[in-house]
Structure 1
């Protein structure tokens, strides 16, 4: 592992540990008002100061990482379950099923993803369930295209055609031939989609259509404390920096994984 990837892995491990053990180490609850002074500086009322209501920024930051990571993970799992399942099915079954699903995905992708999410959430409400399902559905279109392309490419290879000629069924082709060879690209895609989920959910929270107060979310913390910038408060900059660190580290780790997989592929070709 390269030094950059090692640092990124350590940072991601740190954030995931904070998400798991956050409530045990947070000085206060996420909604507790600890000071009468709003936008208090660092050290005055808390290590990272207070927000617009006098709540501890550090405590809300710790609780916010759990919300941000959990929702991003849920939306990514939903998008991959739906996108990979339909993409592989379209590549294997082909015919009318492939055409119908592909046209439906193209219709969804004709709308900007953020605009589509805003319309759906605005119509059905800002509950966590609606938020997760909407973002998962929006992201599944991109996953579908990647999964279908991978399955089509692998399905055209000689070893898959040989298995098909032997009379192997679609399920066997999927589990034994296509999925093992598509695992590495899909893992890298999962990391990228996870990063996109964090940014997407934080953006919706910033617009007021994501997580609602008094719950803590990094995107919501930026939105609710942005007025403190004019008072010299860092309450909005700190969660923004945390979002940046999380997404950059995830991208660095995915880049290292992709380079490693490409190196192994080249090495295997040289050996052959």
Structure 2
């Protein structure tokens, strides 16, 4: 015979994702750290959109006799070893520096979340095999893993996305698995099982919405790290190939001109640093908002 205490347990459900999102967003807008990060990131997004249109010179336009010129009214950030305008190349390179790391982390979240959800919820031998594979991948230094992938498949914009995405997948899967192990025994998941809901429903309607906060915080941090890693690959000559302007490659090409024109490597290096910082500040703010919620 059913008791009155059974009914409330069956009615238990996870918090509304939409309502929780609005609460977190409201907390985020009140966080000064997040707002600073958002302003810096917004500036780079605007430049990524308008960069090619407002660049005063073409990315491969050479000014005769203007090799390693310091900043001036004619060339705001000076020129490089070929006499190309650094400011114009920085502006045009913004688009790929914002888009490619973001795509790579989106790929890592897609793959890592799928692996982590299935591994954490199923458990058993599936979890053991999948996690051992992830452990083997994580045993390699991340930069070395990137280099191995790029060397194997070649340097291109798409391959940079694949390398950064695949390299970040094991850590994302580990994070999601841990969240699933915590959430799968919660009351609202037990109630869904008692209602006879499918595994897909439980994973994507009950567990995943409640794991999104930490996943998004981790994703923002990883985008910042992916920006830094993309700069490192460009510095090593394994980023987006020429003639596309790559910030890391610009730093690499200008490092020998430090004595002649110290500003040449400084501007692209500061650009990379500010982009990384903007994502980290946003991640810090979002983390505080998620905890407060």
Larger displacement relative to structure 2 (28-37 or 237-246): 28-37
Contact 2:80/2:264, CA 8 A, preserved across alignment: yes
2:17 paired residue number: none
Q: Which of residues 91, 95, 116 in structure 2 aligns to 1:87? A: 116
Cross-structure match for 2:89: 60
Kept in 2, the 8 Å contact 1:28–1:56? The answer is yes
Q: Does 2:154 correspond to 1:122?
A: no
SS at match of 1:49: coil
TM-score (norm 1): 0.93
Partner of 1:51: 80
TM-score (norm 2): 0.86
Q: Secondary structure at the match of 2:168?
A: helix
Q: Determine the structure 2 residue equivalent to 1:101.
A: 130
Deviation at 1:35, TM superposition (A): 4.0
- Greater relative contact order, per chain length (Cα 8 Å cut-off, separation 6+): 2
For 1:4 and 1:163, locate their aligned partners in 2 and report how far apart those are by CA, in whole Å.
38
Correspondences of 1:38-187 after superposition (within 5 Å)? 38-43=67-72, 45-187=74-216
Residue ranges of structure 1 left out of the alignment (5+ in a row): 265-272
Q: Check conservation: 2:36, 2:281, Cα contact below 8 A.
A: no
How many angstroms does 1:143 deviate by?
Answer: 0.5
Partner of 2:290: 261
How well do the aligned residues superpose, as a CA RMSD in angstroms?
Answer: 1.4
Deviation at 1:34, TM superposition (A): 2.6
Change (3 A) 1:35 1:147: farther
Whether the 8 Å CA contact 1:218–1:239 is kept in 2: the answer is yes
Q: Answer yes or no: is the 8 Å Cα contact 1:75–1:135 preserved in 2.
A: yes
1:269 match:
none
Structure showing greater radius of gyration is 2
Within 1, Cα distance between the matches of 2:63 and 2:33?
Answer: 39
> Alpha-carbon deviation of 1:44?
6.0
Count of residues in Structure 1 that have an aligned counterpart in Structure 2? 264
1:197 corresponds to which of 214, 226, 234 = 226
Q: Which sits farther off after the overlay, 202-211 or 34-43?
A: 34-43
Asked if structure 2 preserves the Cα contact closer than 8 Å seen for 1:35 and 1:50, the reply is no
Contact map agreement 1:34 1:45 (CA 8 A) in 2: no
After superposing the two structures, state which structure 1 stretch, 123-132 or 62-71, moved more.
123-132
2:220, 2:226 → 1: CA distance? 10
In structure 2, stretches of 5+ residues that fail to align are 1-29
